[in-house]
């Protein structure tokens, strides 16, 4: 399962083995003897070799999936936001790191929204698939 998932994630990002090796080495610097190589990653994708725990962890972080998803222990790469907010992981929003107070307040906002929407009554008229969030950006008028 791991080889198929790794290949699917890499090709889904439209990157080559060379680019993936370079990106991993840049994002997770190490000494020259332990840098990732295209042939090493190719061996993982073909199932010829098995990566170490540390390498699987790097790949999961790089692709933004869980190690369980990458190794085939789960069929979903869905993240539970509640778990993310209480985890020890660094969370950023638009490049700005959220401190513990920010995380708590955002968690409360999301929780209130999710739990409050069960009490809303459906509006008459056509069914709306997604609510719009006005961020003060000008709307595209199609001109």
- For residue range 32-72, what is the model confidence (pLDDT) as tens digits? 888 999 999 999 999 999 999 999 999 999 998 889 889 98
Are 51 and 11 members of one domain?
yes
Are 65 and 12 members of one domain?
yes
Check if the beta carbon of residue 84 is closer than 8 Å to that of residue 91: yes
Q: Residue 141 domain-assigned? A: no
Listed in sequence order, the residues at least 6 apart from 45 whose beta carbon sits closer than 8 Å to its beta carbon are 3, 6, 7, 10, 17
Are 98 and 37 members of one domain?
no
Are 9 and 67 members of one domain?
yes
What is the model's pTM?
Answer: 0.54
Q: Residue 93 domain-assigned? A: yes
Q: Residue 66 domain-assigned? A: yes
* pLDDT, tens only, 105-136: 988 898 888 888 766 665 555 554 444 444 45
Are 24 and 50 members of one domain?
yes
**In terms of residue numbers, what domain contains 86?**
81-117
The reported pLDDT for the residue numbered 126 is 52
Give the residue from 55, 45, 59 showing the smallest Cα distance to 7: 45
Backbone angles phi, psi at 137, to 5 degrees: -90, 145
Number of domains observed in the structure of the chain: 2
Are 22 and 56 members of one domain?
yes
Check if the beta carbon of residue 3 is closer than 8 Å to that of residue 43: no
Listed in sequence order, the residues at least 6 apart from 40 whose beta carbon sits closer than 8 Å to its beta carbon are 21, 49
Query: Average pLDDT for residues 78-104, to the nearest whole number?
Result: 82
């Amino acid at each position: 399962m791991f080889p198929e998932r790794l290949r699917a994630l890499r090709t889904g990002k439209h990157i080559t083995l060379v680019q993936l090796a370079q990106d991993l080495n840049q994002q997770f610097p190490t000494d020259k003897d332990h840098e990732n190589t295209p042939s090493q990653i190719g061996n993982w994708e073909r199932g010829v070799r098995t990566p170490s725990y540390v390498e699987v962890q790097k790949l999961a972080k790089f692709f933004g999936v869980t190690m369980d998803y990458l190794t085939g222990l789960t069929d979903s790469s869905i993240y539970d936001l509640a778990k993310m907010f209480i985890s020890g992981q660094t969370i950023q929003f638009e490049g700005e790191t959220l401190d513990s107070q920010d995380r708590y307040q955002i968690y409360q906002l999301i929780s209130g929204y999710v739990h409050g929407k069960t009490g809303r009554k459906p509006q008459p008229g056509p069914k709306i698939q997604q609510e719009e969030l006005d961020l003060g950006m000008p709307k595209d008028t199609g001109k």
